[in-house]
Structure 1
Amino acid sequence: MDDSDAFRAAVRARLAVMLNSDASPYEPALEVLGLASGGMPVDDGDEACNSLTLIWGELTDWIELRPSETDQAETHMVTAAREWLTVEGDREAEGQYFDRWLHDILGYERAAPPQH
């Protein structure tokens, strides 16, 4: 198993805990953020590491920076987890997931198309 496989298995495990618990999704979300932001080495070009860092960083920051919106942030965490577990392993579907979450939901700007 390479680093990417181990990383993805660890993320799946944390997200499964999140979805199968009545507790707040915040702690498992922090664990996913830790894995994605350097807790596990991923050096094989797996886009999931960088994109999941941005997604889970934004979702956990949402609770930390705007505690009055915790319910909304937690709903997004559960949705992001459920959707990731649905698409994970299908690189095309993952790309669509990253695009939607990063740009449409979390508001990251899309890169400008190259000028010719």
Structure 2
Amino acid sequence: MEDLEAFRAAVRAHAAAMLNGNASPYDAALEIWGLACRAWPGDDGDEACYSLQLVWGALTDWVELRSAETDQAEMHMITAAREWLTIEGDREAEARYFDRWVYGVLGYERPAPPRT
């Protein structure tokens, strides 16, 4: 997706659909992940394209790989969507959101600090 505003609007729409019951958490999460995959690498420096791919990919994988934990994964999806809608557009808040979700909640390994 070349237009980042259209990308962000679509992400907001899927997150809202999840929260208002118009889409299942998994289905909306899969749509967000798909949008982020199509936006990358033509992201124009917007971290959301890459980081949303990590967040929503891990959350959808959780359902697909550990189906017995679907309820728990979907609760995380709802929380992630609610938080995203609260902070989206504030780049500093987004950076904190991604740091917490990618490394704290979902357990990705932090990259090694650059060598000096």
With structure 1 as the length reference, what TM-score do the two structures score?
A: 0.92
The question of 1:7 aligning with 2:7 is answered: yes
Give the unaligned 5+ runs of structure 1.
none
Segments of 4+ in structure 1 off by > 6 A? none
Distance 1:40 1:64, change over 3 A: same
1:84 aligns with 2:63: no
Cα deviation per residue 1:32-66 (whole Å; 9 max; x = unaligned)?
A: 11101016884311110100001000000000000
**In 1, Cα distance between equivalents of 2:39 and 2:93:** 25
Q: Are the aligned partners of 1:4 and 1:42 in contact in 2 as well (CA < 8 Å)?
A: no
Amino acid across the alignment from 2:92: E
Percent identical residues: 69
Q: Distance in 1 between matches of 2:82 and 2:93?
A: 14
**Distance 1:77-1:114 versus aligned 2 partners, 3 A rule:** same
- Match in the other structure for 1:61: 61
The residue aligned with 1:26 is 26
Look up the match of 1:75: 75
Please give the TM-score of this superposition, normalised by the length of structure 2.
0.92
Letter in structure 1 aligned against 2:30? L
RMSD of the TM alignment (CA)? 1.8
Inter-CA distance 41–12: structure 2 relative to 1 (3 Å threshold): farther
Separation in 2 of the partners of 1:39 and 1:109?
A: 23
Q: Distance in 2 between matches of 1:64 and 1:4?
A: 29
Give the Cα–Cα distance (whole angstroms) in 2 for the partners of residues 50 and 71 of structure 1.
26
Whole-angstrom distance in 1 between the partners of 2:23 and 2:15: 13
Q: In the comparison of the two structures, how many residue pairs are matched?
A: 115
